[in-house]
Amino acid sequence: MPLYEHVFLARQDVSGQQVEALVEQFKSVIEEGGGTVAKVETWGLKSLSYRIRKNRKAHFTLLNLDAPATAVAEMERQQRLHEDVLRSMTLRVDELEEGPSVMMQKRDRDDRRDDRRGRFGDRGPRRDDRPRDDRPREDRPREDRPKEPEVAAAASDESKGAE
């Protein structure tokens, strides 16, 4: 039987248990069609690049399938009819991945990196070692303040020219 990787996106409004129920429903469709589901990975709630049916986030789920094309077509048909499924994509592959998918490896790598770094990440020290001057402008020393124009001198020059 052909091998497939299938990813579907569920609406952000559904709960995790409802996503699991969707997975079980689609697994039963594959098994009734004579196929098997080798692996199920839930990638969680992720932001979308653009809005899909007024949703900015979606629950991502990967299914590795070993099923005939008719079973996969029936599952895709039911997903198109289901209102909680935003998008789906099925790819035929030569072999299924044994370990975790790239998305799960990325999540593990990011978790390890966050543990290794501090609160502010790998940002490094400030540009200069001088302390910041958080004092209001009026309280700074005179040399740090910008030059203020001489308002009184300008007004007296204008009054002399008018006479």
46-65, pLDDT tens digit by residue?
899 999 999 899 999 999 99
Q: For residue 77, which of 37, 19, 26 has the smallest C-alpha distance?
A: 26
* Cβ 125 vs Cβ 48: under 8 Å: no
Q: What is d(CA 6, CA 65) in angstroms, rounded to the nearest whole number?
A: 7
pLDDT digits (tens, 9 = 90+) for 137-162: 666 666 655 566 665 555 556 656 55
Distances (CA, A) of 39 to 42, 45, 46, 88: 10, 19, 20, 17
pLDDT in tens, 84-118: 999 999 999 988 888 777 777 776 666 666 555 55
Give the residue with greater pLDDT, 5 vs 132: 5
Q: State how far the Cα of 55 lies from the Cα of 33, in Å rounded to an integer.
A: 32
